[in-house]
Structure formats: structure tokens, C-alpha cells
Amino acid sequence: MDKAEASEFIRSRLDDGCIRVEVIAELLEAGCSRASAYRWFNQLAPQPAEPQHTDLVLNALKDQLYQAQAIDDPAQVLKVANAYAAALSKFKRV
């Protein structure tokens, strides 16, 4: 299988809703080398969106909240919950 055939195949499989593991396995069965299969797939597959800075901040605060709940520290839970609420309102996510 050459690059043009593989590109067409990958696009059709992605349109069908297949995931990377399935597409790579099918390319390997069709005789593509492992390196070519991964390279061609990575060139054609949609790239995941980078998280926004606001998402990173909110996720970090949410993790801290879960940790405080896990150790059963009510004072820390309240402190982090207030910080999380303030961040939500600042980022206009309420």
C-alpha cells in the first residue's frame, strides 16, 4: 500500500468512527510498515485541542478540592471551594 492509498483508507476509516488502534492494525495487516502507518495516521488524524489556561486552573483547583475531601479536612475543603467559586466567577463560567 502506498501513501496515497493509505491516506484515502485512513480518511475513510476515521469517517467511519474508527479509533487509532483499529486503523493502525488494519494498515499493518495491509502490509504497511509500523513506522509508516503511525506517521501517516498522525499526519491525517485531527489533533486534540490544547486546553485553555482557564481549564488548567479550574482542573487544578478541582484536584485540590478532591484531595482535601479525601483526607477529610473541612477547613481546606472550604478554602479550596471558595477559590474554585471565585475562579468560576472570574472566568464567567457560572
pLDDT tens, position by position, 6-26: 999 999 999 999 999 999 999
What's the pLDDT score for residue 82?
95
Of 69, 5, 71, 66, nearest in space to 32 by CA: 5
Question: What are the tens digits of pLDDT across the range 21-51?
Answer: 999 999 999 999 999 999 999 999 988 776 6
- 68: cell is 482535601
CA dist., res. 6 & res. 33, Å (int): 11
Q: What's the whole-model pTM score? A: 0.52
Residue 81 pLDDT exceeds 90: yes
Q: Give the whole-number percent of the chain exceeding pLDDT 90.
A: 73
